[in-house]
Every structure is written in structure tokens, then in C-alpha cells.
Structure 1
Amino acid sequence: MSDTDLAPADETAKRDYLPAERQDMILSLLTRQSVATVPELAQLLNTTEITVRRDLTVLAKAGLLKRVRGGAMSVSDTAERIATKAALNDISSVVSERTDSGTTVRAVDGRFELPSDQPAIGVMLPEPSFFWPGVINHMHEIATRMGLRLITRESAYEEDIHEENILQEFADDPTVCGLIVAPNAHPEIGQRTWDWIARAALPTVAVERSQPLLQASFVDSVRTNHHYGVRKAATHFLERGHTRVGAAFTETPTSNQILTGWKRVVNGTDRIDCPFIIDGIMPYDTRGVDDIVATVLSSNVTALLVHSDYLAIALAQALERHGKKVPQDISLISVDGFATPSSRPLTVLRSSDRDLAQAAIHTLLHRIQNPEAAARHVYIDPMLVDRGSVVPPPTHD
């Protein structure tokens, strides 16, 4: 196994997952591969095939995946996935080349590899789902052309992970000169990671994470500027005539920034009337989704800002069951942009995996070269991708 392979923190650790955890893991897997079999999922989730089939039924009814014989298929935009994969593979189309620093590299399993004694960057990111695979691929490309190796280790969203052990492995490697990490978002679990970072001598850049409020020391960070991103959404709604806009958010490591940013928009202008903001609803929570739909119908909003994609998909389908279509009756913008199905194209706010990767590496190199400099916090605006799910509100005679 090469240094760049993603390695689970503890492959032997098994436990019984809650239904919500299992369903999250299924959806996560289907963001990085188009099909999953029932036996494969049963092994991954440490459960029975009967339980897996029940979970697939729940997710299929919510419209978050497609059931196929023996397993499930992703509903994500296949054409876009193929195009993205092809673009990322373009950098590995030759057998060997020389980096900007003159170091010879060779292609191994479709990736450029550097000699094992070359300086390395240790990267710890969550399980490779959503936009993380793209971030890792772009980091690998950028680092290799600078004559740096990239050693990646996979963390997890679960609460039983010990990320400090992963980071200590990096610290014990004399070739590792700095770290790029996304600590666990659970306060108690993530605190151990932040405490380790504070004690360590290694330069570190945090990606898409906020430090604990009263952390003793500050590290450089790179993250999506969700506060400005939701302004793009608000402007997009206003330009198309929407002034009464509701909001609904799933709980994720970035949802608090999205929620805070939206509240700033609503409180900072009288041009948008937001009668409700509902947070903490998971996309497979059928009752919670139905409650949001009931609120939408009773409040007479004409548009919705939703995070994440899966919640947006579930809401669009639930609205249709109540006779309301997106975008003819309700316009919708989703904050994620990585799992929108081709059958239901949604306008999205989408983080740039390339820009995040580039900013993280350049910020880390600046820290290595300037160890006494003040901490840097780099924010990158997300892109608004217009897929036609925001149209002028319907007129009523």
C-alpha cells in the first residue's frame, strides 16, 4: 500500500451503529461509488443483510438512492461525476515527469509518486465522501509538482475515533514537515485533536473547521466562506422576485456557519422576509421532512434555502406529494452541490475543492517558512451553480 492510500484509523474496530449512522454511511459511500451491494454494506456496517435492506428501503422511499437487484445505486448526476473523475485523472496520464524542483517522479496506480525520503505533508481528512476526494486529488497534484509527498490518512465522522493517534503517526515520521487536518466536529472528540495540535511542534492548517472557542493557541485555517455564500443565494432569490424565503438545515460540521450567515442576511436587510428557519432535520427523518413541508405550505413562502443536498432532494419530493413542484411552485437553492440527481437538477452553492486544496497547501508552506507569523484564516467564496431551480414566483389572480 502506498503512502497516498486512504487508510482507516482502526480497521479492526467494530461496533453496532444506530440506524441514522448506518444510513449516513450508506449515503456517504454512494457519493464516491455509483453502486453498493447488500453484502458489501452489511460488512461495512457490521450488521445483517436484512437490516441493510431495511435501511435501503427507508432511503429509497426518501428518494436518496435507487434500489437495484442486490443493492443500491446512487442518484447523483452520473455525467457530472464522470467528467469530474476524468478531469482529475488527466494529471496521471503520463508515466513519469519531473516536478518544478527537478525531482523525478513515477506513476504508481494512476498517481504520481515521489521517493520515500522526500519531504511530506500529512493530511487527515474525513472518510472520502462529498468533495473530500477532489480536495485530496488536487492536493496531491499541487504537492507533487512542488516536490512534496502527500501522506493521507482517513478519519471519520463517528464519535469513537482517536484522531490524535493518527496525528502522532505523522509526527513520528521524520519526513513529515506539516499537517493539513479536518478535526472531528463532535466537541468532546474533536477537543482531543485540537489539544494534540496545540501541544505539537508541527505546523498545521485546519480545513473546513472552527477551533474551540477558547483554544489556547491558534492555527492557520482554510474554509469555505459560507457567510458570503448565502449572500449569493439571497441575491439570486431577489433577482428572480423572491422576497419571502424559508430555510431548512441538516446538522453537519458546516451547518452552523451556513445558519449564522443566513441569519445575518435576514437580520441585516428588510428585503427578505424569512418566516422560519428549521435546523437539525436529517434527510431520512420522514416526520421531520413532512413537518418542514407543512411549515412551507402554511407560511406561503415562495422559495427555500436548504442544506444539505439530500435534505433538498427529500423536501422536493415531499413537496410534490403535496401538489407543489420545484421550481414551478417553490424555488430552491441547495448548499452542498455534490449529490444532486440528474432527474432533479437543483441550483447549488458549491465549495471549490481545487481552491481549498491550493489554499491549504500554500498556507501551510507559508507557516513552515514563517513560523512566527500571525495566524492566517483564509476564506474562499463558494460558487453558485445555476441549474434552473429558481424561477420567478407564481402569480395568483
Structure 2
Amino acid sequence: MTDTPVPGAAKRDYLPAERRDMILSLLTQQSVVTVPELAKLLNTTAITVRRDLTALANAGLVKRVRGGAMSVGEAPERAAGQPAMGLGGVVTGHTAAGVPTVRPVTHQPELSPDQPAIGVMLPEPSFFWPGVTGHMRDYAARLGMRLVTRECAYEGATREDLILQSFADDPTVCGIIAAPTASASADHNAWDWIERTALPTVVIERDQPTLGTCYVDSVRTNHQYGVRKAAVHFLAHGHHRIGAAFNLSPTAAQIQDGWRQVVDASDAIDCPFVFDGIQPYDTKGVGGIVDKILLSGVTAMLVHSDYLAIAIAQELERRGRRVPQDLSMISVDGFATPSSRPLTVLRSPEQDLAQAAVSMLVTRLQDPAAATRHLFVDPALIDRGSVVDVTPA
């Protein structure tokens, strides 16, 4: 995704969890990965890659093949009832203040390198971000604008402020869309840079640091409302005793907070346990979740993310239980579910998020003094049949 080398975006040594997440993410974009390909991507040795593939295979998340691994994935789908927001036009010039002037177009124009550009800084490619970037590129092109893209890291391992500065150093870049690290343990150099810059900036899928002083436009998935959709779906099928499990991700805390609000808001749902911080390739941790499922008598599970849901389902099968016959399940962030294990999912609407971010940035360019806006886009619930009616005891 990176167009040119940039300070702060050099190759680095990844943690085991990061490597395995990147392998799983790559397998949602292509059906087979090879050991040499992964060794180059992950900046590590073939021996380390084989060790990672073995761990993922032992967890049932990939299938080992000679020289690499494979996984069957599904192409992203758009849920019914989720129309795209209208946006179309072409930048025909700039006002005296440097603001693009836009007129509608009915086709995507050819873009030249000197046309206005949007700087986009998103985390290393995963099953979610490439689709978002692709939609941004399409919508920006319809406005006569290019995308200049750079990669950052999920946990702030790159100097994000230097990446952002590379956009400012490009005279064609007129605004930025970014997903800076916002975790409490990370340096907030990117947020400090955004607060100081004169370039209009839209933050995507991130909340600002707690007690931070940087206030800019943002667009995010409304995970709290998404969790409500999951709860209603469970209840409609007669499920009231429901467990939950969440792995580590930038959005896990929002999803878990949404679930807590749902459980606390009424006595309709009895949630006897919540696991957090369990990675899908942590076989001991996954085994502990399944132990609790079997001992607690829950009839359904809300799980984030897909691969953790898949790992739980496969561990259940090893113990003679099946999804959905013995346990119903909804997965949050449903992009990577293999077709061999269809799960009902809550999916962030990558097309609408991308279009909203570009539209919001153009609006800010045209009206720099407007009040800061924060847009939430509801995820879609895609029913693949992994939630069934509770069978009477």
C-alpha cells in the first residue's frame, strides 16, 4: 500500500501475535501463501514463518500445504438494506483559499500526478483496510482527486508523525484521512502532529486519546449499536443465556463496552462470563473459553473476531459439539469467515466508511470554520444461519 519509502515506515521486527495476524489477514485476500513470500513480508526467517504456520494450523485456522499454507475465504458482500451514500463530482480547480471546487461527473476521469491528492495513513494491510482504501480511491477519483497512501502499525511501532509529515511535504496533498494509534500505552506523536497541522484531517475508526486535546472530524463504526443488533437477533431465536469472548484489537474495547451496556440495560440477557484478550491461535486460551461454555450452559456466544469464533467452533467440534446445532454464534467484524464455516456476522460497512471519510474531508476543505463532526455508521448484521432457535431441554 505504501507508494514510496518514508521515514518511520521502514521494515521492523514483528511480534509473534502481529505476524500471525498478518498471515491470517493475507489469507483473506488470496487463497495460498508461501513461506518465502511470508518471510519477506514479515521481515523474518523461513524457520520462524514455518513455526507461525504450525501454530495457526494447530489452532485450525489455516491448512498447511507444501511450501506454505492455504485458507478458503469469502469475498466481501454488501448486506441488503445498506445503500451507499451519494457522492460524485470532479475537482475543477481551487478557490483563492486553496479549497477544491467540485462539479458532478458520471464517469471516473483519468487522473494526472499533479491533481489534488488525499493523504491516507492506515494500518498494515488486513482483511478490512484494503477494501476501505479501494473504495476511498474510487470515490476520490470521482471527485478528481488521487490517493497517496502510507502504512502505519496497529500498536504505534512506526513514527506516525513522520508519515503524516510526508503528506504535508507533498504539495499536491490537500487533506489527510488517518487511523492513528490511540492506545494508552502508545506514544501520541501522531495526535500531536494532527493538532498542529494546517492540513484538514479526518480520523477513521479511531477515538481520540482519553483527555486528549486534538479535536478533528471522525467517522467510525457504531459498534455499540451493532452489538444491540446481535442481542436482538439472539433474543428473537430464544437465547437468553449468552457468553462473550473478545480478542485484542483497536475496536475490541468499544465492542465489549457495547455488550456490557446491553447486558446491564435489562434482565433479558444473562451473561455468565466475558473473556477478553484471547487470541485465536492461543490454544490454551481457546480451550478455556470452551471449558466455560460447556460448564455454564450458555446457548449462544458473541465473539470478536472471526478467527477467534472459528477457533472456538473447531474446539467445540473436537469435543463433540457443533455450531449452530449445539451452540449459536455471532461474530463481530465478519470479513474473514471461511466458506467452510459460515457464521452470522456483524460487518463494518467499509464502502460507507470510506465514502463518509472522503465526503467529510471535502466538506472540511470547503468550510474550514464549520463545527467538528463525528459520524457513526451502523454495522450490518448478515445472517448466515449460525443462530438457530433454542431447542427445548
Superposition pairs of residues 242-281 of structure 1, within 5 angstroms: 242-281=239-278
TM-score scaled to structure 2, two decimals?
0.89
Indicate conservation of the 8 Å contact 2:23/2:38, yes or no: yes
Q: What secondary structure, in the 3-state scheme, does the structure 2 residue paired with 1:25 have?
A: helix
Superposition pairs of residues 288-299 of structure 1, within 5 angstroms: 288-299=285-296
Q: Which amino acid aligns with 1:367?
A: R
Indicate conservation of the 8 Å contact 1:8/1:154, yes or no: no
For the pair 1:206 / 2:203, whether they are aligned, the reply is yes
Indicate conservation of the 8 Å contact 2:2/2:151, yes or no: no
Aligned equivalents of 1:393 and 1:6: distance in 2? 52
Aligned equivalents of 2:271 and 2:28: distance in 1? 32
Indicate conservation of the 8 Å contact 1:66/1:75, yes or no: no
How far 1:269 moved relative to its partner? 1.1
How far 1:124 moved relative to its partner? 0.7
1:12 and 1:206, CA in 2 relative to 1: closer, same or farther beyond 3 A?
closer
- 2:177 aligned partner: 180
Structure 1 window deviating more from structure 2 (8-17 vs 128-137): it is 8-17
Q: Which runs of 4+ in 1 moved over 6 A?
A: none
How far 1:5 moved relative to its partner? 5.6
Indicate conservation of the 8 Å contact 1:203/1:364, yes or no: yes
Q: Which of 102, 124, 128 is the aligned partner of 1:127?
A: 124
How far 1:156 moved relative to its partner? 2.1
1:112 and 1:58, CA in 2 relative to 1: closer, same or farther beyond 3 A?
farther
Q: What secondary structure, in the 3-state scheme, does the structure 2 residue paired with 1:301 have?
A: coil
How far 1:374 moved relative to its partner? 1.6
Describe the superposition over 1:241-287 as per-residue Cα deviations: whole angstroms up to 9, x where unpaired: 10110000001000010000000000001111111111110001111
Percent of residue pairs bearing the same amino acid type: 65
Q: Which amino acid aligns with 2:71?
A: S
User: What is the root-mean-square deviation in Å for CA atoms of aligned residues?
Assistant: 2.1
Indicate conservation of the 8 Å contact 1:182/1:206, yes or no: yes
- 1:372 aligned partner: 369
- 1:382 aligned partner: 379
Describe the superposition over 1:305-336 as per-residue Cα deviations: whole angstroms up to 9, x where unpaired: 00000100000001111221100010000001
- 2:71 aligned partner: 74
How far 1:394 moved relative to its partner? 2.4
Consecutive unaligned residues of structure 1, counting only runs of 5 or more, are 85-97, 104-110
For the pair 1:219 / 2:216, whether they are aligned, the reply is yes
Aligned equivalents of 1:241 and 1:213: distance in 2? 38
Q: What secondary structure, in the 3-state scheme, does the structure 1 residue paired with 2:188 have?
A: helix
Higher fraction of helix: 1
Aligned equivalents of 2:25 and 2:3: distance in 1? 15
- 2:237 aligned partner: 240
How far 1:217 moved relative to its partner? 3.0
Indicate conservation of the 8 Å contact 2:116/2:173, yes or no: yes
- 1:355 aligned partner: 352
Q: What secondary structure, in the 3-state scheme, does the structure 2 residue paired with 1:54 have?
A: helix
How far 1:36 moved relative to its partner? 1.1
Q: Which amino acid aligns with 2:374?
A: H
Aligned equivalents of 1:262 and 1:140: distance in 2? 34
What is the aligned residue count? 370
How far 1:155 moved relative to its partner? 1.6
Aligned equivalents of 1:40 and 1:226: distance in 2? 34
- 1:317 aligned partner: 314
Aligned equivalents of 1:47 and 1:149: distance in 2? 33
For the pair 1:335 / 2:323, whether they are aligned, the reply is no
Q: What secondary structure, in the 3-state scheme, does the structure 2 residue paired with 1:390 have?
A: coil
TM-score scaled to structure 1, two decimals?
0.88
Aligned equivalents of 1:50 and 1:17: distance in 2? 15
Aligned equivalents of 1:170 and 1:295: distance in 2? 49
Consecutive unaligned residues of structure 2, counting only runs of 5 or more, are 79-87, 94-107
Indicate conservation of the 8 Å contact 1:205/1:221, yes or no: yes
Indicate conservation of the 8 Å contact 2:27/2:33, yes or no: yes
Aligned equivalents of 2:254 and 2:92: distance in 1? 42
Structure 1 window deviating more from structure 2 (8-17 vs 205-214): it is 8-17
Indicate conservation of the 8 Å contact 2:57/2:63, yes or no: yes
Aligned equivalents of 2:349 and 2:336: distance in 1? 15
